[in-house]
Structure 1
Amino acid sequence: MEKLTIAIMKIHHEFFDMIVSGVKKYEIRDTPLEGIDIISYRDAATGLYLGSYYVDGVMKYNRTEDKHVCELSSVDNDIFFQLFPMPADGGPDNLWVVKLSKRAPLREIFGADCVS
């Protein structure tokens, strides 16, 4: 039996749509994400399940590298700094970047008998 670590994360629906369309290929968070195999997304407003994606690597970045991380985030600078203020403004000292891979359908993860 294969062991998988699944992180459940809330996301704004418009950002999830960017993932589905292939525009957004990286997930940026302010908490450590090492060891995660799959991200399962829930709508931030409703809590409804949106979809899951396999993780293809995690990198930790210092805030001196925000220009690069912002480019990876696929959002404009204003949105990026609203989500991740600088440490002087109460934001985190580091950011974690997850490279997203292919979709991870629940039936594939848990087996058809476990998902209704």
Structure 2
Amino acid sequence: MALYLSRLELQARLHLGKEAEQWLGHADEGEYTVIKWLYLAQEDRHQYSVTYMESFDEGDEDWQHVPEFSLLDPDAEENTAFDSVEEAVAYAVQTYGASPDRFVAGGMLAEEYARYWQSKNTSIK
């Protein structure tokens, strides 16, 4: 199975009520690193939400489940709903710089984090 969802797979997943996620990168803030990601989900039968998250980079080689990391500001979660998957994806692209071809199935964000973690720790050595 390919890591990234095709646009048709993304639409199908969301229409079936399954989530999709996307790793947006990280930012070094001096004493800590912030990781940025978002997820798309079906809110109800004809509503699709885009939720943007910023978390502290708390992962390591053994713990890479990004949704469990501490949020930078738990009260600052940005969640916007749309009437179609296409509108939700367009918003994610325009607002957060997401790539329409780099969404992963819900629960697979750890794979993206693992790549980031590996590259981060390889460059330190």
TM-score normalised to structure 2 length: 0.30
Quick check: which one's strand share is greater? 1
